[in-house]
Structure 1
Amino acid sequence: MDTAPLRVVQWGTGAVGRGVLRGLLDRPEFELAGVRVYDPAKQGLDAGTIIGRGPVGVLATGDPQEVFDLDADCVVYAPLPGSRYGGDDLATVCRLLAAGKNVVSLTGFVYPYARGPEFVETLEKACVAGGTSVHGTGISPGFTGEKLPLVLSGLTRRIDHLYVRECFDFAGHPSRSFVRGLAGFGRTEEEYLAMLPWARGMMRDLYTESMHLLAAGLRVELDDVDLDHERLHAKEDFTIASGPIARGTVAADRWTLTGRVGGVPMITIEVAHKADARRIDAWYEPGYALRIQGSPSMALSLGEDWLTNGVTAAAGHALNSVAAVCAAPPGIRTSLDLPLLPGRFAEP
């Protein structure tokens, strides 16, 4: 028996948000209910126009209240993180949940339990009020640092240490607000240092959730998580998809998180970003690496070409989560709670 399509709102139309929007319009199990934008130039535009297509009859709004008032089953929440993830984003997501809308987030909420009981209680109250669920997803965080290691860990009899490493090349990333605004590339040292406390807090918040989700999946409890950071500067002027990078400005960074149990390092996650990997040869090549020390030990390395488009992958992971989140009981739903979320073949 045919079922009615799920009515879904796309919140945020950056690079990933536009990818989700294309999927919402292309896949018959969804009906686009609304679009929330931040750029004044997009307000009032048809959703189809925003992604370079013909009109579809849904106009974008810059007023969040219009989204809270909509009749919708789910909101795919995909803005850049707010002043601090957990502040503005927590308040907004809770309003959506309390208004009766399930939330699939591409901005954190991968494992909210890592944020402490007050954070969890706030989310759970909103879920109860609206009869809704919240799920954080994406690719990193959301998949490569959590789901993939847990799947491969099923081959082990004993784990002594788990190491995950990701290196991202932003040369082709189209969003200036992401590459310069969020990552800080192309900023002077002084400008970068001014944003570093915020960036450090954001990375700790986002990836500490990944660490604790991994630990929960492996049935251990972390005592603490350390965060180390380093950066590199451009040795020459160059231009990437999001704009110019001047010589001497920040062009790469690396974040290392270490989770300990009883003082012993158990989980390490390394995340490196490069404005253009062809011009920055430090550290390692773009791609993914996983090492599990134990019985048996294992190692997996995937080069840059293991994934043709990370932005599209993040959007796909969110889209494939929507139906399961809408069907789940009210509350926080992590990847440990939901079933396998496969993609689907194109319509013939």
Structure 2
Amino acid sequence: MDMPVKVVLYGIGAIGSKIARCLLAKKGVQVVGAIDADPEKVGKDLGEVIGLGRETGIRILDDPEKVLSEAKPDVVVHATRSFLDQVFDQIMTCIRHGANVVSTCEELSHPYVSNPELAKKLDEEARKAGVTVLGTGINPGFLMDTLPIVLSAVCHEVRSITVKRSINAATRRLPFQKKIGAGLTVREFEEKMRSGAITGHVGLRQSVALIADALGWELDRVEVGPAEPVVAEEEVRSDYITVEPGQVAGLRQVAKGIKDGRPVITLEFTAYIGAEEYDSVDIDGVPEVHEKIEPCVHGDEGTVGVVVNMIPKVIKAPPGLLTMKDVPLPSATPGDVDVYLR
């Protein structure tokens, strides 16, 4: 492309703001619009809302139709909600306006396993419009699915794959610490689990399905266990929360892909204040593979990286609703975006 890639930002929350700052500084990209429903942000300059320290000339609007019809973006970077039924209409609007979409919606990373009917509709409409839709991020999208898929390339036999992600929540934002129940009693944690205020990690089912699809495994079923509280044995603290002994420091959750009656894919997500930080992949195969990243990759910054780096990959990909296994090999894009579109 001779012209910059035109991008509209859909969702200017914590992650959307980080993505915005990255894209505004990136060569070969022109941010041409911003959408958000928050009345505290609507009408304000994007630079003011994301703490850029300067105005951008881009006003945040809550009218997707107006923004998309006037801006005519090549790509919409979408960062609003986690569940497909919550974002379906938003994605469809982008498709109708002829825009490719890179979304952080966790269920969109492999929507066929959670909501096949909506996924089929998105795929059909994207193909008709000649655009590509991709759900991705650090997790799901890379660490617990794409990375083990790539690592399995050295194996000529694979018996099982185990992936673990362990996060010290003290290094993360306060909303994340609240999301995992830090500082609650066990009873309060269980009540919030029942009410849906705490959901556990969204995306484990999608990551299991993505790995299975890539390896050609037909699973008997995917088992996603409930989020279990991790109870502090001694006082632990972050900049925001002090957790007393006996209180909840965070959570742990496990998902398994069952094939021929045994688990062949096991994903374990752990996040609590004071946790050891690492990302690991262990492949029982020929040859064996044991990979460990210490400390773990920072979730927010990693999500920004994956989303931004996938923009040229999505533009070059065939139309339709795709997953990370369907697009070109992910990589960093440190140069002008035009370099990666040639």
Q: TM-score, normalised by structure 1?
A: 0.85
Q: Deviations over 1:162-192 (max 9, x none)?
A: 1000011221223x33332x33334444543
Aligned-pair identity in percent equals: 29
The CA deviation at 1:92 is 2.1
| Partner amino acid, structure 1, of 2:263 | P
Confirm or deny: 8 A CA contact 1:6 1:73 kept in the other structure: yes
The CA deviation at 1:321 is 0.8
Confirm or deny: 8 A CA contact 1:179 1:185 kept in the other structure: yes
What 5-or-longer segments of structure 1 have no aligned partner? 278-284
Match of 2:151 in 1: 152
The CA deviation at 1:54 is 0.7
Match of 1:195 in 2: 192
Instruction: Choose the corresponding residue for 2:231, options 225, 230, 233.
Output: 233
Match of 2:302 in 1: 313
CA separation of 1:340 and 1:222: change in aligned 2, threshold 3 A: same
What's the secondary structure of 1:171's corresponding residue?
Answer: helix
The CA deviation at 1:288 is 0.9
Structure 2: distance between partners of 1:194 and 1:147 = 34
CA separation of 1:192 and 1:145: change in aligned 2, threshold 3 A: same
Structure 1: distance between partners of 2:192 and 2:131 = 35
Confirm or deny: 8 A CA contact 2:7 2:74 kept in the other structure: yes
Match of 1:53 in 2: 53
Q: Which moved more, 1:57-66 or 1:154-163?
A: 57-66
The CA deviation at 1:237 is 6.5
Confirm or deny: 8 A CA contact 2:236 2:243 kept in the other structure: yes
Confirm or deny: 8 A CA contact 1:245 1:251 kept in the other structure: no
Q: Which moved more, 1:125-134 or 1:210-219?
A: 125-134
Kindly indicate whether residue 242 of structure 2 is the aligned counterpart of residue 253 of structure 1.
no
Structure 1: distance between partners of 2:185 and 2:93 = 37
What 5-or-longer segments of structure 2 have no aligned partner? 337-342
Q: Deviations over 1:75-112 (max 9, x none)?
A: 1111242xxx1221223222222232211011221122
Match of 2:209 in 1: 212
Confirm or deny: 8 A CA contact 1:237 1:244 kept in the other structure: no
Give the superposed CA RMSD.
2.5
Confirm or deny: 8 A CA contact 2:139 2:203 kept in the other structure: no
| Partner amino acid, structure 1, of 2:285 | G
Match of 2:103 in 1: 105
Confirm or deny: 8 A CA contact 1:106 1:138 kept in the other structure: yes
TM alignment of 1:165-180, pairs within 5 A: 165-174=164-173, 176-180=174-178
Total equivalences in the alignment: 330
CA separation of 1:90 and 1:195: change in aligned 2, threshold 3 A: farther
Confirm or deny: 8 A CA contact 1:98 1:128 kept in the other structure: no
CA separation of 1:67 and 1:273: change in aligned 2, threshold 3 A: farther
The CA deviation at 1:342 is 2.2
Kindly indicate whether residue 317 of structure 2 is the aligned counterpart of residue 324 of structure 1.
no
Structure 2: distance between partners of 1:89 and 1:249 = 35
The CA deviation at 1:319 is 0.7
